[in-house]
Structure 1
């Protein structure tokens, strides 16, 4: 619609300036231009005002509504709030584009999507692969109805089914591509089984970022690289709340151990590649950082019973106070040392392998590189600091 032309142009220009439009997939920008975000956004969005999510209605405040839809490349528009927390969104444009680029779609591909949401992602894929080639599963009947209506209004033939994406779509022919729009801690084996050998699966993983997996020719595994770092909403039923925070874990307990920290803690706050590696090695440990006049301070906890504070003393010195059955500062430093011994790999040097009875992350090489078992707790890791 004409009233959103300027907002659309601004978002596209910001994407262009940052290099977010992928050169190997020029079709994505064409599809995004043909199927703009506002066509799929509901009339009520939700804005965080610093205290709570408040409604923004298109009918009463169209300019503010449009500002939510086109806030920027890295801004998602919250479309549903459940229990005071966001439970669905119109994903930020940069991530939508990056994931579709990772999917490597070609005309004629059969695609299975987990999580229809607003229907926009399915629309972009249908623009590429053709009518009747995309099936999207959505566990929420209301969201499914919204997506179906918006896709029909856009003249796109996409099958929207109300179903739990964890099971995929049993009893159907294998798909060329599978994509999820929500984060999973463990990639369901059903997704691998329902993807043809050589096919690709792109999914947000552990709320750390997203991975692109290729199914092996024998169909007995899928493996691939981390594609980017971002936070995603989890699958329904896995918990969207913050869980126990540092104060709840520590309670009134006194530290059981105190010891000096001799290393510079600045990378713990500023180096995203280090932080990603630490999340892989210590998936259940949450790390929050802050800076004061003495340097970088950090708070660690495992969501259960163990906690650590790393307090800057000035002059490059820090002290660790640790409580609970685990010594999280010790574990942190060991994982940090492993990362350094590997040459400080970037997050793009990490990958994931999925087999019927196990999943593991690896660095640089799926066969010879170091490995870390993937567990359900990976989903509790959040970006912080």
Structure 2
């Protein structure tokens, strides 16, 4: 049976693994202290959800506390799902390593005023409040049930945090008072301009960018733009108020392609194997062709790939076993040519890694760039799953 002592032991184990793997931010020792002061388990609901290979199954603390604790402390890079909607995760306690990295990126100082967006169960708001002080954190949560739960847990932890129920994507900071920092915990493709307006000049916005990773923006001194670099990689829950992303998987590709014959066919000399596991390449393709959904598989001839846009355009790269592939395409656009060109451009740029990219946001536009704000750039738009 895993009781209170067991929880204390798992907290110590989490701390030790974070230290061993270099996950505690060296420049922000307060993060480690905050994890110890307001531990993850105090913000976990009595029911968690585990993927069993076919569906999410419940893990109730009262029925099997050991399994519940194992799920909550599964690993420093593992999130714990705390809520489902229509059978899919809609809220979670984020992976400890990611939480630590994002808090480090915020550069929080005592006295800062923080807008925590996407309260969930309240853990990240609690960690920020521990750092900045009582009454300095306001948090927004679109789900009324989650907001109520967070209020209770924050109060039980002795932390003074205002939790407002509402859609932060479509509105400004609760109370209208400017903040020094924004910490968003759900993914958006484009930064709402209201977020930039809510932050004082020189302040920071740390947020998950689509399914790519998290970014730290600094608001310009004139308040008319914000820019910054990719800080880390992780996937987050999507904005509930945004349109649903295009479905992935071979069934979705088949639905887009239908039974039509290809419009074009060409032979390429290209090794497709990097598409399987070169995540710097995958990142670059996602930036350059943001609505492309990519699938790969391997057979006796090598790696094959399929691409579609969730609408009507598709492409298939078929390996021939001799180092060449045949590219078939159909639909109103040549999405395979777009992906191939983006791949070649990435190679021309010297195969930059994911941390060589950043974002600039203005009232009228926002774009991703590589190497610096004046380097190669790509417009940002709402996109599907990659």
Q: Which residue of 2 aligns with 1:184?
A: 188
Find the aligned partners of 2:379 and 2:325 in 1 and give their Cα distance: 31
Find the aligned partners of 1:109 and 1:46 in 2 and give their Cα distance: 35
Q: 2:108 aligns with which of 99, 105, 108?
A: 105
Q: Are the aligned partners of 2:246 and 2:310 in contact in 1 as well (CA < 8 Å)?
A: no
Using the TM superposition, give the Cα deviation of residue 294 of structure 1 relative to its aligned residue in structure 2, in angstroms.
Answer: 2.1
Corresponding position: 1:66 with 2:66: no
Which ranges of structure 2 fall in alignment gaps of 5 or more residues? Answer: none
Q: Which residue of 1 aligns with 2:264?
A: 257
Q: Mapping of 1:200-219 within 5 angstroms?
A: 200-219=204-223
Using the TM superposition, give the Cα deviation of residue 291 of structure 1 relative to its aligned residue in structure 2, in angstroms.
Answer: 2.3
Q: Are the aligned partners of 2:138 and 2:174 in contact in 1 as well (CA < 8 Å)?
A: no
Secondary structure of the residue aligned to 1:303 is coil
Q: Any idea what the Cα deviations from partners look like across 1:313-352, whole Å, max 9, x if unmatched?
A: 2132222221212222211111111111211111111110
Secondary structure of the residue aligned to 2:320 is strand
Q: Which residue of 2 aligns with 1:338?
A: 345
Using the TM superposition, give the Cα deviation of residue 263 of structure 1 relative to its aligned residue in structure 2, in angstroms.
Answer: 1.4
Find the aligned partners of 1:137 and 1:163 in 2 and give their Cα distance: 6
Q: Are the aligned partners of 2:111 and 2:133 in contact in 1 as well (CA < 8 Å)?
A: yes
TM-score under structure 2 length normalisation: 0.95
Using the TM superposition, give the Cα deviation of residue 240 of structure 1 relative to its aligned residue in structure 2, in angstroms.
Answer: 5.2
Q: Which residue of 2 aligns with 1:234?
A: 238
Secondary structure of the residue aligned to 1:376 is coil
Q: 1:319 aligns with which of 309, 321, 326?
A: 326
Q: Mapping of 1:1-385 within 5 angstroms?
A: 1-166=4-169, 167-169=171-173, 172-239=176-243, 243=247, 245-366=252-373, 368-377=374-383, 380-382=384-386
Q: Are the aligned partners of 1:226 and 1:351 in contact in 2 as well (CA < 8 Å)?
A: yes
Q: Are the aligned partners of 2:246 and 2:385 in contact in 1 as well (CA < 8 Å)?
A: no
Using the TM superposition, give the Cα deviation of residue 292 of structure 1 relative to its aligned residue in structure 2, in angstroms.
Answer: 2.6
Q: Are the aligned partners of 1:114 and 1:137 in contact in 2 as well (CA < 8 Å)?
A: yes
Find the aligned partners of 1:297 and 1:243 in 2 and give their Cα distance: 20
Find the aligned partners of 2:191 and 2:23 in 1 and give their Cα distance: 27
Find the aligned partners of 2:15 and 2:312 in 1 and give their Cα distance: 47
Using the TM superposition, give the Cα deviation of residue 59 of structure 1 relative to its aligned residue in structure 2, in angstroms.
Answer: 0.5
Using the TM superposition, give the Cα deviation of residue 277 of structure 1 relative to its aligned residue in structure 2, in angstroms.
Answer: 0.8
Change (3 A) 1:242 1:86: farther
Find the aligned partners of 2:132 and 2:190 in 1 and give their Cα distance: 28
Find the aligned partners of 1:145 and 1:170 in 2 and give their Cα distance: 16
Indicate the larger mover: 15-24 or 104-113.
15-24
Change (3 A) 1:49 1:242: farther
Find the aligned partners of 1:260 and 1:238 in 2 and give their Cα distance: 39
TM-score under structure 1 length normalisation: 0.95
Secondary structure of the residue aligned to 2:259 is coil
Q: Any idea what the Cα deviations from partners look like across 1:140-198, whole Å, max 9, x if unmatched?
A: 11000111111111111111111111113165221010110000111010110010000
Find the aligned partners of 1:331 and 1:27 in 2 and give their Cα distance: 45
Using the TM superposition, give the Cα deviation of residue 239 of structure 1 relative to its aligned residue in structure 2, in angstroms.
Answer: 4.5
Using the TM superposition, give the Cα deviation of residue 373 of structure 1 relative to its aligned residue in structure 2, in angstroms.
Answer: 0.7
Secondary structure of the residue aligned to 1:214 is strand
Secondary structure of the residue aligned to 1:314 is coil
Which ranges of structure 1 fall in alignment gaps of 5 or more residues? Answer: none
